[in-house]
Amino acid sequence: MTGRSLELMYQFLICTSSAFVAVAMFHVVFPKKRKPEIEDEECQFSSFVKTAAKHGKSTVISTVNELLDAISKAMDTQHTVNMNSKPKLRNDMIVDQIDLEISRLSDRLFTILSEATIESLPLLQLVKKGRRLPCCALDIGGTLTKLVLFKPGGGERDLKCETYDPDREFCSDADHDSGSIPVRLTSTDVIHLKLYSFETKKIHTVVEFLKARGICNVRISASGGGGHKFQELFQREIGVKLSSIDEMRSVITGVNHRLLTGSQEAFHYRWGLDAERKAYVSFAGKKSPFPYLLVNIGSGVSIIRVDQMDSYRRLSGSCLGGGSFFGLCKLLTGKYKFDEIVEMSRRGNINNVDLLVSDIYGQGFVKDIGLSDDLIASSFGKVAVADHSSETFCPEDMVRSLIFMFSNNLSQIACLIAERERIENIIFSGGFIRNNAYVWSKISFGLDFWSGSRLQALFMEHEGFLGALGAYLLHDKHEEEGEGLSAASEEAPASPGS
């Protein structure tokens, strides 16, 4: 065993034993008080310690020792509290002080841990070794294909990527261009990735796009089902080998990287009359976003609990997702482009098709039962009771009603699972919410309503490209762990269609 291995083992033993001592002190002093909260702190703190110890961060040892000192001081306050106080009051004061110390020191451990986990990403290993970075990565979904492309000269240091022609434009670049995203690799290295979007049913357009830039005979990381489905096509047409990477791992890696490094990435959306609708929340180098709930709304819905950078498990899902919404919209409107449907929704009025509480009880009476007049009692309820021989309904109204119905349903499911798991941060992602402020507002309203204003929805600025970003960051990871490897955790059974 090497000296380095012994050092890591020593750190691990010290850190974990210190954490267990802290936990034991909790249970000795407060054997029957606030057990769920204590167990939560125990689980989160031990997780930080163990994971950081694996990275050989010696700072963790002093941080744990500082926590133990704080707990000792808190217990000493028993002798300074007014002895006429009730025992329960004295115990609660000590618990609150220990809670405060754990929160403060856990944030410090989180900063250590986040830096270590970012440094461990496969792409960072290429930077450290001075190797060329991959030119691009793909996320090939059932409806859309997202591509991230290295943009030369976008950072302080001129990092090189695999050879391609960045100046040669594809004939319809403007139709697919979705801007760019800065990606921090180290404290001194920031690269920029160009973002492109294509319809998967026109996958040959992606092949031609790569061919036009001379991206041939290389290996490209690809997440999503298309990473398997189109391997033969890319190999045959341009000699590109698609290295399939687990879809959920790609998305979560992309989300985590942006949460830990991007100051203008995660945001709450205000649905009132405020001039500034987006309220950004920064986790970079500050508080921990973990654990959080990721509600990924693609064709179906997957709900994932994420505890750390590479620790997650699927909790639930639903077959009522973006595919269901898009399919119903096609049947009701005859429109076949998602952007057209989103534009139609902006002109709609749900009051023309949805049955409101005031339609059932009349105006004013609803205050007595704790409901507002404009609360929806039944989506499409007015259609159900209409005389169809004389009434017609506007497609724009129906699309807007569908958006509210799906958003309200998903926010309620997310709320129930978050409360069961005792999780505060809930991030919504997926094609259904892409660039759709109305969806943001309805999900935000729904989560606020169902949680009694205890929870707020979070959205991501670069939503839609996080899977492709994750695939880019995980480039070469399949060589280390096996292609298409999933997280080492047991998943919940999938709902049909999710």
Residues in the chain: 498
Fold of 266-353+393-460: Nucleotidyltransferase; domain 5 (3.30.420)
Whether the upstream peptide bond of residue 87 has omega within 30° of 0, thus cis, is no
**What is the per-residue pLDDT across 288-312, written as a single tens digit (0 to 9) for each?**
788 899 999 888 899 999 988 778 9
Residue 167: per-residue pLDDT:
55
The answer on pLDDT for 81 being more than 70 is: no
Q: Who has greater pLDDT, 28 or 224?
A: 224
Question: What is the phi/psi pair of residue 162, to 5°?
Answer: -55, 150
Q: Which of 136-145, 153-162, 295-304 has the lowest mean pLDDT?
A: 153-162
pLDDT value, residue 310 = 78
Beta bridge partners of 427: 294, 458
Whether 320 and 409 have beta carbons less than 8 Å apart is answered as yes
pLDDT category, 12, cuts 50, 70, 90? very low
Which residue has better confidence, 191 or 105? 191
The chain-wide mean pLDDT, for the chain, equals: 74
**Pairwise CA distance, residues 183 & 190, whole Å:** 6
- The predicted structure's pLDDT at residue 274: 55
* Residue 383 vs residues 193, 348, 380, 387: alpha-carbon distances, Å: 47, 15, 5, 8
pTM, rounded to two decimals: 0.73
pLDDT of residue 407: 92
Amino acid identity, position 334:
G
Higher pLDDT, 232 or 127: 232
Q: In the prediction, which pLDDT does 300 show?
A: 86
Confidence of residue 5 (pLDDT cuts 50, 70, 90): very low
Buried b (16+ CB within 10 A) or exposed e, 368-390: eeebeeeebebbbbbbeeeeeee
Q: Is the CB of residue 277 less than 8 Å from the CB of residue 437? A: yes
Q: Which of 110-114, 214-218, 438-442 has the lowest mean pLDDT?
A: 110-114
Percent of the chain that is helix, strand, coil (3-state, to 5) = 50, 15, 35
Contact between 326 and 433 (Cβ < 8 Å): no
Q: What is the mean pLDDT of residues 101-114?
A: 62
> Confidence band (pLDDT; 50, 70, 90) for 336?
confident
User: Is the pLDDT confidence value at 498 over 70?
Assistant: no
**Selected residue with higher pLDDT from 338 and 355:** 355
Tens digit of each residue's pLDDT (9 = 90 or more) over 254-264:
999 898 887 78
pLDDT given at position 493: 43
Closest by CA to 348, choosing from 333, 328, 360, is: 333
The side-by-side arrangement of strands in the sheet containing 177-184 is 177-184, 190-199, 144-151, 136-140, 219-223, 241-244
**What's the sign of the alpha-carbon dihedral 130, 134, 139, 140?**
negative
Condensed to tens digits (0 to 9), the pLDDT of residues 231-283 reads 999 999 999 999 999 988 999 999 998 988 877 889 999 876 555 588 888 88
pLDDT at residue number 65 = 55
Q: Band of the pLDDT at 180, cuts 50, 70, 90?
A: confident
Q: What is the mean pLDDT of residues 44-64?
A: 50
Over range 29-42, report the average pLDDT.
45
Q: Is the pLDDT of residue 168 over 60?
A: no
Kindly report the CATH number that applies to the domain delimited by 132-153+166-260: 3.30.420.510
Q: Report the pLDDT value the prediction gives residue 17, as an integer from 0 to 100.
A: 45
State which of 21-30, 138-147, 155-164 shows the largest mean pLDDT.
138-147
Q: Is the pLDDT of residue 38 over 50?
A: no
Task: Give pLDDT, residue 304.
Answer: 95
Please give the average per-residue pLDDT across 461-467, as a whole number: 89
Q: What is the pLDDT of residues 372-419, one digit of tens each?
A: 778 888 989 988 888 766 678 899 999 999 999 999 999 999 999 999
Give the pLDDT band of residue 16 (cuts 50, 70, 90): very low
With a cut of 70, say whether residue 174 has pLDDT above it.
no
* Domain 132-153+166-260 shares a fold with domain 266-353+393-460: yes
Element (H, E) at 173: helix 173-176
Phi first, then psi, for residue 57 (nearest 5°) are -85, 105
Q: What is the pLDDT of residue 237?
A: 94
Pairing of strands 457-460, 425-429: parallel
Per domain, the residue ranges of the chain are 3-120, 132-153+166-260, 266-353+393-460
